[in-house]
Structure 1
């Protein structure tokens, strides 16, 4: 009904993300509201939330109880990722279409490499802290 593998449903049930209401043979049975929960879990995963973070977004009744501050922080993170991915896409597009005989002779490519190197060093130093 949801397109989610039975093993995933069992895992979510075992982890407390959803709750089965019984069994019919070997099959676990779920209430209709679990479809909404599964949709929200999928959305959360797509947004980059961990399953433990997603689990905290439901109250004991399984109803959504989402921390708006956490959502806003994720929105900011996604904005940064979009900006980085857009820059990467544009860089790759330039590399693919660069008219220079060698990319090492292309001033734009050299600038992109320097910027990427600075970002990498900065990211590594933040991770060490």
Structure 2
């Protein structure tokens, strides 16, 4: 298969040519040469760019992605790092699910006003404490000391 110039790679990969030049500076991709002033790439660069895009989507930094390739350009992915990222994503999914549920409750709450809804007020307190969307506690809570209320 013939080499691709930078414009063709940019078009097929869906990234600007400036991104390709930046990836080249970072050592993520390497042109095979030049035809005139235009960089040329082996068509296999498209697969490598797909792996880079997948890594970025998963939240890896470019430095982390750079370390995922051996000096010969072949993928060398640390499976423990992937498992750790998957665990992070699981936590984020739980947080986002709790946040979604909170928003749905607020949208459909039958209370005359949100100020009268105990669930909504609990969500506000959690938001103020910075814990909205955190997974629910799995260990039993210590009972609170009862205090008497006087009118």
User: TM class by shorter-chain length?
Assistant: 0.7 to 0.9
Aligned to 1:109: 120
SS in structure 2 at match of 1:23: strand
Correspondent of 2:20 among 3, 6, 9: 9
Q: CA deviation at 1:114?
A: 2.9
Q: State the Cα RMSD in Å.
A: 1.6
1:47 aligns with 2:62: no
Aligned to 2:77: 66
**Cα distance in 1 between the residues matched to 2:28 and 2:35:** 20
Map residues 111-126 of structure 1 onto 2, 5 A cutoff. 111-120=122-131
**Cα distance in 1 between the residues matched to 2:90 and 2:113:** 33
Aligned to 1:21: 32
SS in structure 1 at match of 2:123: helix
1:75 aligns with 2:86: yes
Q: CA deviation at 1:119?
A: 4.5
Number of residue-to-residue matches in the alignment: 121
- Look at both structures and tell me which one has the larger radius of gyration over its CA atoms: 2
SS in structure 2 at match of 1:89: helix
Q: Which has the higher contact order (CA 8 A, sep 6+)?
A: 2
Unaligned segments of structure 1, at least 5 residues: 124-129
**Cα distance in 2 between the residues matched to 1:28 and 1:93:** 51
TM-score, normalization by structure 1: 0.86
Unaligned segments of structure 2, at least 5 residues: 1-11, 135-151
- Looking at secondary structure, tell me which structure has more helix per residue: 1
Aligned to 2:109: 98
